Chains A and B, each alone.
Chain A
Amino acid sequence: MAMDAATIERLIKESLPDAQISIEDLRGDGDHYAARVVSGAFRGKTRIQQHQLVYQALRGRMGNELHALALQTSAPAD
């Protein structure tokens, strides 16, 4: 099972509307992605909490349809 990058981006945007997202399909197989997500919602949160917000946005797909999404999260610089 695979997911396209546009779907990943849309799901993240639905939960984190201000997010700036860049997604790379690492192997071109629709199954291994790397995403950088920058959102004000991450401010003051630990990395674990930041990643959990993204996983929540993906609503259970992470670890299922989506095998591998390497995440890098940060809050926007002021």
Chain B
Amino acid sequence: MDTTLQDRIRQQIGEAPVVLFMKGTPVFPQCGFSAAVVQILSHLGVKFKGIDVLADPSVRQGIKEFSNWPTVPQLYVNGEFIGGCDIVREMFETGELQQVLEEKGVALRA
């Protein structure tokens, strides 16, 4: 992956405390897995920035190489890769996601 793309992805990851690389937008997810993560974040009242990989094929491919993770969605908190749909769902169910977000200083709706 060229460094320009890598820098762009790094910059996107840093655009907000919680960033979700997804297919479609938070309002109109284009894939069930992306929709599931949006739903979890919305349920927790977490503010996040969605990045639509369908709008940019280079980011769609680049994010997979960046994280060594073959699928989208991908959730980042304070620049750290948290996981894809399965992991986020599992962490939500165990309460671990809420804990990680709080530890990282992300506000949840009480």
Contacts and interface: CB of A to CB of B under 8 A. Distances in A.
Interface of A: 47-48, 51-52, 55, 60, 62-64, 68, 70-72
Query: Which size class do B's interface residues fall under?
Result: 10 to 19
Contacts of B90: 47, 72
A71 B68 CA distance: 16
- Is chain A's binding surface mostly helix, strand, loop or mixed? mixed
B98 interface: no
B66 interface: no
Q: Closest 8 interchain pairs by CB?
A: A63-B70, A62-B70, A63-B71, A47-B87, A71-B86, A70-B86, A55-B70, A48-B83
Contacts of A60: 70
B92 interface: no
B69 A52 contact: yes
Nearest to A71: B86
A70 B87 CA distance: 9
